[in-house]
Amino acid sequence: DGKLDFREFLAIVKSMRTATVKKGGGMNGFLRRLQSDVKRSLMGDFQEYGVLGRRLLKPKQFKIEEERRRQEQEVQEAHELERWGKQMEARRAALAQEELRQRQEKLAITFEYEVLFHGNEVDFPDDKSVVAVHLRVFVEGQLIENSRSRGRPFKFRVDGGAVIPGLSRLIRKMSLGTRCHAILPPEMAYGEQGLPPKIPRHATVELDVELVGVELSTDMQELLSDS
């Protein structure tokens, strides 16, 4: 049955000792041989087992335990991936919230304007409209832009980002034919950096604006035709 009782073990040891002594190895030689045989026997036994952590397992049990640990690792990695995804989603939401806060702060900034001439009070541009304006721009009392001297108006889309925020907001308040004078703080004009060399940092800008053309967006045209 593969088992060895104590008497059989003593007989094997006695025979090994006798054989070693006859060969002239003495007691030290016998002990060295016994140690070598025990080590070789143990290593043979280890080959029939698997070592997992500090435990010695039989092949079938080792395979089961290894599979269990692999599954645990996959679950842990899935949880880590889910946690990372939630963190990224939270960061995106925080960034969107910050952008919204900044937009709201900009909208809260006011500027002075005066209507010099009223328009037709009918044709108001929407965000997607393309408008034509005659424009004069003053910085620190100096004229730096004048579309009238060029003989043609300045065209831009209201929400296209091509003009300073204050002009875009002002145009939304004007109907076709309206002319306004406005004083814009730096936040509604060229900001802290300015636009060197013509426009210095933190510059207040004055505008003389006349809305001379409005190309309504398709949505606005449909809305007006339905009404």
> How would you write the pLDDT of the chain (227 residues) with one tens digit per residue?
444 555 666 666 666 656 555 555 555 555 565 556 555 554 444 444 444 454 555 667 767 877 888 888 888 888 888 888 888 888 887 787 777 666 656 666 778 899 999 999 999 998 889 999 999 999 988 999 999 998 999 999 998 888 998 999 899 999 999 999 999 999 889 988 888 888 999 999 999 999 999 997 766 555 555 55
Place of tokens 């925020």: 165
Amino acid symbol at 161: G
Token pair for residue 33?
């041989």
Find out whether 147 and 213 touch, Cβ atoms under 8 Å: no
Angle CA(176)–CA(182)–CA(185) in degrees, nearest 5?
135
**Burial class of residue 33 in the structure, from the number of CB atoms within 10 Å of its CB (0-12 exposed, 13-18 middle, 19+ buried):** middle
Q: Which residues, 6 or more positions from 20, have their beta carbon under 8 angstroms from its beta carbon?
A: 26, 29, 30, 33
How many angstroms separate the CA atoms of 56 and 24, rounded?
A: 39
pTM to 2 decimals? 0.51
